[in-house]
């Protein structure tokens, strides 16, 4: 399925479906294994991601890398990482609903092409979008949800864990352990 993912990446590379196209240096489509069983979905690129064209390479990304290693025992190359919006919102503001809607087909296409068994949503934007709910992440997290024929594990955004201290970090770690347990079933087959 990497062919359709590549085609989608090319399409996204010249996308002008929303205003975020105006301010971007690069389209941050996603990175990692195009056949991954595990996929992470964040919010949107920050300044460093926009510069490098790679998701989660700034402070949040460093924490995500560490948690992947410590809780799942994997490197980012063993999973696929992307965001709800592929272009950086100015001043790191929240993505707007029209921007999220414009970018939604890319995320849908990525999920279909990669076909992961487990999707971990990082923070409110990806969790609410994929679970189609207005409920916030604090209430959503702590369990997994059926997501088509996959499982979805919502957790905090790493930026929230950086801000929120030990309590938030501990909950995020326990969500990642939940994802790991689901992955162990996949890896066992």
Beta carbon nearer to ligand URA, 126 or 151: 126
CA angle 6, 3, 45 (to 5 degrees): 25
Q: Tell which residue, 183, 172, 28, 35, has the closest CA to residue 107.
A: 28
Q: Tell which residue, 89, 132, 114, has the closest CA to residue 38.
A: 114
Shortest approach of ligand URA to residue 65 CB, angstroms? 12
Structural contact between residues 38 and 116, judged by C-beta atoms closer than 8 angstroms:
yes
Determine the residue with CB nearest ligand URA: 42
**Binding flag, residue 156, ligand URA (CB under 6 A):** no
Q: Rounded to 10 degrees, what is the CA torsion of 172, 175, 179, 184?
A: 110
**Binding flag, residue 56, ligand URA (CB under 6 A):** yes
User: In the numeric block, which tokens belong to residue 1?
Assistant: 């399925």
Residue from 8, 20, 34, 49 in contact with ligand URA (CB under 6 A) = 49
Contact flags string 72-111 toward ligand URA, x per CB under 6 A: -----------x----------------------------
Binding residues (CB under 6 A) for ligand URA: these are 42-46, 49, 55-56, 58, 60-61, 83
């Amino acid at each position: 399925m990497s062919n359709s993912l590549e085609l989608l990446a090319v399409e996204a590379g010249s996308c002008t479906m929303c205003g975020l196209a105006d301010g971007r240096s690069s389209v941050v489509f996603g990175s990692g294994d195009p056949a991954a069983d595990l996929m992470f979905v964040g919010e949107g690129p920050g300044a460093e991601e926009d510069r490098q064209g790679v998701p989660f390479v700034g402070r949040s990304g460093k924490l995500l890398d560490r948690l992947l290693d410590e809780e799942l025992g994997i490197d980012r190359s063993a999973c696929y990482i992307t965001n709800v919006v592929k272009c950086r919102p100015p001043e790191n503001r929240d993505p707007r609903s029209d921007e999220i809607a414009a970018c939604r087909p890319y995320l849908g296409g990525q999920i279909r092409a990669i076909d992961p068994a487990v999707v971990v949503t990082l923070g409110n934007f990806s969790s609410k979008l994929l679970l189609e709910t207005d409920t916030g992440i604090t209430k959503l997290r702590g369990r997994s949800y059926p997501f088509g024929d996959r499982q979805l594990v919502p957790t905090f955004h790493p930026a929230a864990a950086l801000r929120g201290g030990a309590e938030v970090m501990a909950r995020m770690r326990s969500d990642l352990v939940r994802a790991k347990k689901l992955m162990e079933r996949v890896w066992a087959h």
